Chains A and B, each alone.
Chain A
């Protein structure tokens, strides 16, 4: 009787553990999927737009001007230092930082209106390129995906 009790407990524990692991995997999977879908728009950028090069690459003030523009127009959603917030994803993720400047410019110009990213074509082209210069100057700072466990100190 006692042995049978242990067996039932073991089966329940095992099943619980399996479910928890499955759920954990699910969370990770979901987190990864969310992350992928957030940045998926970058993959949809037409090749011609992606090939566009930043005309302000040699402008020594482009990054500083882009920072001012970022603080005025983008920081509210993308967070301080472009690290992301509840409203909008980090722009320091590898997907963005490794994207072609033309792709980022295209996203700025067209927005992702179905996902709350407004169209920024109202900013003149040089200002959008200044923003691209600033964003690309920030470098990668990976944020945990929504399903990832918090980083240990």
Chain B
């Protein structure tokens, strides 16, 4: 007889492998893939949008420990589509396993990013609008807002799952590319649609590829395919009590590996900076870019020429 913790771990592994296999299957359907050039950020956004007609299928995981509660594994899938060169739309499905409790689907999100300016500037704004329909058991920590603290997530799944949260999230993304470096600054404002005050948060990111020049031959391990970065994010309180008090704050160094085959792998150990934050989170993600997706869909609705 397997101990319950081990059984949970195996279940978790099965879920993760299943998700990776589904992503792999989708990739087989793809006629063409192209190398993505993703930054290592998991929370912060830069101003680079998805190429038009490309679909990026992504899977992310967050393993977390909690004082005053069991550890958890939160996971989410993202489908990111470049509708045009200035508009990217993205759909998320979230879930989590809290060890010794349960595994559950926690909701969906739909986000849109629009680039209002036609050209590249020293600072490039992107407008972000997201609708979330999740429950309180959601633990993906994709953004930290208001007075979100570690203790919020110690509530058992059986209780927290009953509380539905519908929110509109607005972000102003500012980002610059300078001499190979990327600097991203995000400010966010979130409104719970059930008469809660506006909540605020931020995310900052800096990153740089390990090499700026491309290699003269096709290679997987060339340094230009690796981008290292650091992000910092946290809550800024709400409309009634704006500021850093009673908020959680995180610092996260990250590394992304953009493979020429279209696969991208990310890893980001995350450290809590104050007593309200999780002490440690381990985040990782895998994604695959299907560059010909738009064309494939178009061909479904068009006759042969």
Contacts and interface: CB of A to CB of B under 8 A. Distances in A.
B67 to A, nearest CB: 39
B85 A116 contact: yes
Interface string A98-130: 000000000001111111111101111111001
Contact of B37 (A61, A122, A125, A130): A122
Nearest to A68: B218
A116 B84 contact: yes
A87 B82 CA distance: 14
A111 B214 contact: no
A68 B34 contact: no
A121 B212 contact: no
Contacts of B86: 113-114
Contacts of B49: 118-119
Given A68-B218, A73-B35, A118-B49, A127 B260 contact: no
Interface string B37-49: 1010000001011
Interface residues of A, number: 31
Nearest to B208: A124
Interface stretch (B92-100, B113-121, B143-151): B113-121
User: Which secondary structure characterizes the binding site on chain A?
Assistant: helix
The B interface, classified by DSSP as helix, strand, loop or mixed, is: loop
B249 interface: no
Contacts of B35: 72-73
B214 A65 contact: yes
B209 interface: yes
A64 interface: yes
Contacts of A130: 213-214
A65 B85 contact: no
Nearest to B35: A72
A123 B37 contact: yes
B118 A87 contact: no
Contacts of B156: none
Contact of A124 (B39, B82, B209, B217): B209
Contacts of B269: none
Given A121-B177, A122-B48, A124-B209, A65 B215 contact: yes
Contacts of B179: 124-125
Contact of B119 (A75, A110, A122, A124): A110
Given A72-B260, A115-B85, A122-B46, 17 more contacts: A68-B218, A73-B34, A73-B37, A87-B295, A109-B120, A110-B118, A110-B119, A111-B85, A112-B85, A113-B115, A116-B85, A119-B48, A121-B177, A122-B48, A127-B213, A127-B224, A130-B213
Interface of A: 61, 64-66, 68-69, 71-73, 75-76, 87, 109-119, 121-127, 130
16 contacts: A64-B216, A76-B34, A76-B291, A109-B120, A111-B119, A113-B118, A118-B51, A118-B52, A118-B82, A118-B85, A122-B46, A124-B179, A126-B180, A126-B213, A127-B214, A130-B214
